[in-house]
Structure 1
Amino acid sequence: MLLEDTYKTITTTAEGLFKDRGSKFFAYAYPIEQESEVKELVEILKKEHFKAVHHCYAFRLGQDKTNFRVNDDGEPAGSAGKPILNVLLSKDITNILVVVVRYFGGTLLGVPGLINAYKTATLEALANAEVIEKTVNEIYDVSFEFIQMNDVMKVVKEFGLKIKNQQFDNQCTITLEFRKNMTNQVIGKLEKIDNITIDFVATV
């Protein structure tokens, strides 16, 4: 099975609000690139909403969407983080953190009520977010001798490759970024050039 080479994420922070029997659920959706951002963003919200009783969240990371975590922050198990995550799964969005801050209104909502509240607040935030589709790209370092420059540039031009970095001397190196589904074609063409070294750097 081929991995999809596109994924959906959000461009900027978005907010949503849901109220039920006096309780208020403020949802904040953030685009994130790595797990280390999660703690920082949650801490900022805890300072902003220091009177809130719960700061529950879920996040998803990576193009294969297998890196995710939920946190119920004192709510009954499975009643907060999981409903938030389920919305992210159903909307097929990744590289995202959603934190829902709850102010208790004096009436217990029960587990079904909580699941509905956290889910609806998350849906509200995502409805206010700009969702975009990005391509999964790969980055390679390509090293070659100066006399091979024309051959290499011909491939760059043919496929419309993005040059992220370049260093030209007797020995040249360029860093190329291109869509994952083009990898076999691009590498195949480059490998036909004499005295060329191609090193995989990262998937982004």
Structure 2
Amino acid sequence: MNSYRTIYEYGCDEFTEERSRFIGYAKPINSEEEAVEFVDEIKKKHKDATHNVWAYTVGPTMNIQRYSDDGEPQGTAGIPALEVIKKEDLRDVVVVITRYFGGIKLGAGGLVRAYTRGAKIGLEAGKIIDRIWYQEVKIKVDYNQIGRVQNEIMNLGYFVKNTIYLEDVEFIIYSKPEDTQKLTDRITDITNGTANISFGEEFYLSENNGEIILD
């Protein structure tokens, strides 16, 4: 899987609807165990709340999907929260929406809207991002080739993680695997085959609007 959508970090936001207080929480997770731990953590934090509704998806194909209405009428809370995650096409995410009842009933439609909003604001607070698969490429050249190679890398739009100045100059670059051959061919061409090109690890990096976010 070359890319997927998730959230960047823990997020929390809240709103009031007909005197009921709704608090939306969201967190990126790596396993169902982590999702359950987060749900339990919020339940413990808000053990005096009227409801702690939750939903999560786990896995690259959302193969694990769970939710709970936590005492709200069936279909008015957990499923709407899960649907927000699915509509945003998010993987490995858990949301919890805490409600403190304010004395006014919202009705089925009002509950659906409130829990949908609660899930959405929690996810937005956690910053929805793309996780993209990248290849680390190391390019080592002589000092007299720095300017030309650096300009070419920047013009082609590759991300330079680091530049190391020792006996030679080494550029550490992040490239999408499908673009790596284009990069190596171009660098080989402009250096007449003198560049020393090697490959490091492959991994996921976070992107927001096409810009890499370094953890």
TM score, norm. by length of structure 2: 0.62
Picking from 71, 76, 79, the partner of 2:73 is: 76
Secondary structure of the structure 2 residue equivalent to 1:116: helix
Q: How many Å separate the matches in 2 of 1:31 and 1:67?
A: 14
Picking from 88, 92, 96, the partner of 1:95 is: 92
Matching residue of 1:124 = 121
- 2:157 is the counterpart of 1:160: no
Judge conservation of contact 2:55–2:82 (CA < 8 Å) in 1.
yes
Q: How many Å separate the matches in 2 of 1:33 and 1:133?
A: 15
- Give 1:43 deviation, angstroms: 1.7
Judge conservation of contact 1:161–1:178 (CA < 8 Å) in 2.
no
- Give 1:131 deviation, angstroms: 2.0
Q: How many Å separate the matches in 1 of 2:73 and 2:107?
A: 9
Sequence identity percentage? 36
Q: Which 5+ residue runs of structure 2 have no aligned equivalent?
A: 135-195, 205-215
Secondary structure of the structure 2 residue equivalent to 1:8: strand
For 1:7, give the aligned amino acid.
Y
Judge conservation of contact 2:18–2:102 (CA < 8 Å) in 1.
yes
Matching residue of 2:14 = 17
Picking from 88, 107, 114, the partner of 1:110 is: 107
Matching residue of 1:165 = none
Which whole-Å deviations, capped at 9, do the CAs of 1:66-112 have from their partners, x for residues lacking one? Answer: 32111111111111111111111111111100000110111111110
| Residues 1-204 of structure 1: pairs in structure 2 closer than 5 A | 5-135=2-132, 160-162=199-201, 177=202
Change (3 A) 1:22 1:135: same
For 1:98, give the aligned amino acid.
V
Q: Structure 1 stretch 18-27 or stretch 128-137: which is displaced more? A: 128-137
Judge conservation of contact 2:95–2:123 (CA < 8 Å) in 1.
no
Q: How many Å separate the matches in 1 of 2:48 and 2:70?
A: 14
Which whole-Å deviations, capped at 9, do the CAs of 1:100-153 have from their partners, x for residues lacking one? Answer: 01101111111101000000111112222222211368xxxxxxxxxxxxxxxx
Secondary structure of the structure 2 residue equivalent to 1:83: helix
Query: How many residues end up aligned between the 2 structures?
Result: 145
Change (3 A) 1:104 1:7: same
TM score, norm. by length of structure 1: 0.65
- Give 1:44 deviation, angstroms: 1.5
Q: Structure 1 stretch 52-61 or stretch 16-25: which is displaced more? A: 16-25
Q: Which 5+ residue runs of structure 1 have no aligned equivalent?
A: 138-156, 163-176, 180-204
For 2:58, give the aligned amino acid.
L
Which whole-Å deviations, capped at 9, do the CAs of 1:27-60 have from their partners, x for residues lacking one? Answer: 1001100001122212211221121011111101
Change (3 A) 1:161 1:125: same
